[in-house]
Amino acid sequence: MQHPPANGAVVAIIPARGGSKGVPRKNALPVGGVPLVVRAVRAAQASVLVDRVLVSTDDAEIAALARAAGAEVVDRPAELSGDAAGSESALLHALTEIDPDGTAVRTVVFLQATSPFIPSDGIDEGVRLVDGGAYDCAFSAYETFGFLWRRDADAAAEAINHSAGVRPRRQEREPHYLETGAFYVLDAAGFRAAGHRFFGRIGIVEVSETSAVEIDDATQFAIAGALAPLVDRPARIEAEALVTDFDGVHTDDTATVDADGRESVRVSRSDGMGVGMLRRAGIPMLILSTEVNPVVRARAEKLRVPVLHGVVDKAAALTEWAAAGGIDLARTAYLGNDVNDLGAMRLVGWPIAVADAHPAVRAAARIVLDRRGGAGAVRELIDRILA
């Protein structure tokens, strides 16, 4: 983000109340390991042209998440936080709070946290269109050639954007644009006067259909979680420490048992090479396992990595380990595969899942790796940390 110019700042405002009926407390819930409100804050922060990022909320947890992500918080009054309260009322309230005389803000970027994949370059394009005077407001939309229908008074189908008796080819049709709901860019003075997000000359910022997911119910939330590892997929994982489960991560989650009851497991030599590279880079690593088995300690000793095993509460053990070592969990990656990893995954900035992880773990992960447990997943993660 840049410093605000003399003629007023570009301010991103994210309304994020605590209440929600379709998906309870959805603005605080993680998609791909990142809470929705934090995703919106990061999208605004990644914009070149946004100067300030504000979150308007009535909820203490959402406020804490927003501040931790680097946003300013505007306390949203109760009368503007109910189900009937419109987003415009929250925007106008926040705008009045930070700019009571209407001189400090020239452009408002309204972001909706319910859109998990907001394109930052699209925000910048919208700001350029409004700041340059081409439009008074602009919104994100994607091009569609879909045939739209509605039901008439008798519930019979009626064509809207085409003639029912004619089926032209795609190249012969006029495209339409479907509003994504992700972001709106507004001239601040015009918005104050109109009191609504659409006024004056309205522009379209064309974005990818991939960014058009909007979460209003549990099904859409699940779809967003499934898409997140594909849409996000950063080339480098910016972690300064790595914690892993053992079974199902360093192994394929199977064991061979001999006649005396001794277990043996298969591990990847590639993983061992990667751990050596991570160790030489000076990045702390820990193996955290619920199993009490000599094979876990033997492998950890071979890798020269600290191990905590027989751990019932992984989240508590992880918190204690990080505190003792002065490690920032927000800059830590945790690699897991099963439901007993979920508590620890929720604590870190980089929750990661192996390719064959339990569905709940995949849904909670910020990244799902290409490799399975015991088949080079640890090496894949380390390569991306060291990239």
E strands along 42-126, which residues? 52-57, 72-75, 105-111
Fold of 9-228: Spore Coat Polysaccharide Biosynthesis Protein SpsA; Chain A (3.90.550)
CA dihedral 231, 212, 339, 367 (to 10 degrees): 10
E strands along 36-162, which residues? 52-57, 72-75, 105-111, 137-144, 149-151, 157-159
- State the Cα–Cα distance between residues 176 and 161, nearest whole angstrom: 9
Q: What is the pLDDT of residues 287-342, one digit of tens each?
A: 999 887 788 889 999 999 999 988 999 999 999 999 999 999 989 999 999 999 99
pTM across the whole model: 0.74
E strands along 281-360, which residues? 285-289, 307-309, 332-336, 350-353
Q: Would you say 356 and 337 are in contact if contact means Cβ atoms under 8 Å apart?
A: yes
- State the Cα–Cα distance between residues 121 and 119, nearest whole angstrom: 6
Pick from 219, 221, 11: nearest CA to 96: 11
Q: What is the pLDDT of residues 10-38, one digit of tens each?
A: 999 999 988 777 788 889 988 888 899 99
Q: What is the mean pLDDT of residues 71-77?
A: 92
Q: Please tell me the predicted confidence (pLDDT) of residue 235.
A: 67
Specify the DSSP class assigned to residue 311. -
Q: With residue 185 as reference, give the H or E element that holds it.
A: strand 176-187
- Helix axis angle for 120-131 and 36-45, nearest 10°, is 50
Q: Are domains 9-228 and 241-386 of this chain identical in fold? A: no
Q: Would you say 20 and 221 are in contact if contact means Cβ atoms under 8 Å apart?
A: no
Is the torsion defined by CA of 53, 58, 60, 65 positive or negative?
negative
Of the given ranges (90-94, 150-154, 360-364, 371-375), which has the lowest mean pLDDT? 360-364
Task: Give me the chain's average pLDDT, please.
Answer: 90
Q: What is the pLDDT of residues 274-296, one digit of tens each?
A: 999 999 999 999 999 988 778 88
Both tokens of 19, joined, read: 């209440």
Fold of 241-386: Rossmann fold (3.40.50)
Domain spans of the chain, in order of start: 9-228, 241-386
Q: What is the mean pLDDT of residues 177-194?
A: 95
Pick from 161, 163, 112: nearest CA to 140: 112
Q: What is the pLDDT of residues 202-258, one digit of tens each?
A: 999 999 998 899 998 889 988 898 888 778 877 678 899 999 999 999 999 888 888
Q: What is the mean pLDDT of residues 255-265?
A: 82
Q: Which residues partner with 285 through β-bridges?
A: 242
